[in-house]
Amino acid sequence: MNKSAYTRLLHETHGTFTIEASFVMPLILISTLSLLFLALFVFQSSSAQQSAGIAADRAAFVWDNSTKNTVTGAYNVGEDDGLYWRLHSDSISDLFAFLIPNAASQITLPTAVTNGDRGPEGKLRRVGAAISKEWKGTIQYRNSGIFREVSIYLNKPFHTPKYAEKLLFHDVESSAQAQVVDPVESIRIIDLTRTFISEVKGRLSPRAAVETFTEPTSVPEQRVVIDSHASAVKYLQTLVNGKAITVKVNAATERHLDALDANQVAHQAFYTFTESQLRQVQMPKDAELLQEGTQIKGVVWHFFKQSNRDTVILSAGFRQELQRKGIVIVIHE
């Protein structure tokens, strides 16, 4: 090619648009596709953030009652987890994680509801079941005493074109946390604390409080065992601080009193007895003494349970008859 032909070729303008378009159009197409994938990635990230945030808020909101609807929070009257669910169904062992290694309550997504499970994992599953199955991840609950937190982590693959793999992430990820609040329990504790402080304030001095922790100087007496009429009488005399005496009912009849206290009240102990014998022999004497009213001012019959029985057996008719005669009944079981 001579010099004049080369110069003419350089100044030729025909076909320049076609050449420029062959370079620019692929660049515009690639840029447009990249923006579309970027928009899809932003949309998926926003969706993950929304799903995680809503699930965490729902879990924290319905945490105090496993029967609540995870979406509306509604539940039937009388359906709850009991008064002491915070002790056995709230991961209270997390408080001792500094002493004993203890993993937080956690489930893996996707998940399904397990009927009858009212523990932390069951509550997490009920919330996790409402999350779309396309999301994978975990839901975790940890109880640190003052702060109780539900944490959710979601992820799913995001398919990007080969040329944009280094520019965009391969997975869409998001996480959210929500604090579990219990306003009813908080009000109850505050009210109890205020009431308790006002009740004990000024009633117990620091010195008296220290004295309550003093070791006892004597060993408590063993429990009295009643296994006979004699032991019953001995116990009764100690109980009422009374003495056994014999009084005259009339010229021909005497009455032995097991214990007569300082107020002239006669106490009788019965260990083995029959209602017929008491009705025919003992009751007439005591009724006559009560009616006479000078030697005794009252009569109390103490019935002691026999060692081979679970309770003292007295018929309703006999009880009413004693009451009509003015005799008081005390049952020792």
DSSP string, 89-129: SS-GGGGGTTTS--PPEEEEES----TT--SHHHHHHHHHT
Number of domains in the chain: 2
Q: Please tell me whether residues 66 and 181 are part of one structural domain.
A: yes
> What region, left, alpha or beta, does residue 308 occupy, with left being phi > 0 and alpha being psi -120 to 50 degrees?
alpha
CA distance 221 to 272: 26
Q: Please tell me whether residues 44 and 134 are part of one structural domain.
A: yes
Domain range spanning residue 154?
A: 40-71+86-185
pLDDT of residue 164: 63
pLDDT of residue 218: 66
Which residue type occupies 57? D
pLDDT of residue 66: 83
Judge whether 209 lies within some domain: no
Judge whether 324 lies within some domain: yes
Judge whether 45 lies within some domain: yes
Residue with tokens 């408590």: 220
pLDDT of residue 113: 80
Note down pLDDT in tens along the chain; length 333 residues. 556 666 665 566 666 667 676 778 888 887 887 788 888 888 888 888 998 999 999 888 888 888 888 888 888 888 888 878 777 778 877 777 666 667 788 888 888 887 777 788 888 888 888 888 888 999 999 888 778 899 999 988 887 766 666 666 678 888 899 998 888 888 888 888 888 877 777 676 777 777 777 666 666 666 777 888 888 888 888 888 888 988 888 878 888 889 988 888 899 998 888 888 888 888 888 888 888 888 888 899 899 888 777 788 888 888 888 888 888 888 887
pLDDT of residue 78: 80
CA distance 76 to 65: 11
pTM of the model: 0.49
Q: Please tell me whether residues 173 and 239 are part of one structural domain.
A: no
Contact 178/59 with Cβ under 8 angstroms?
yes
Contact 134/69 with Cβ under 8 angstroms?
no
Strand segments, DSSP code E, in the chain are: 105-109, 136-143, 148-157, 171-179, 243-248, 254-260, 265-270, 298-304, 327-332
Q: Please tell me whether residues 266 and 171 are part of one structural domain.
A: no
CA distance 109 to 205: 57
pLDDT of residue 163: 62
Which residue type occupies 253? T
Three-state DSSP class for residue 81: coil
Q: Please tell me whether residues 155 and 253 are part of one structural domain.
A: no
> What region, left, alpha or beta, does residue 125 occupy, with left being phi > 0 and alpha being psi -120 to 50 degrees?
alpha
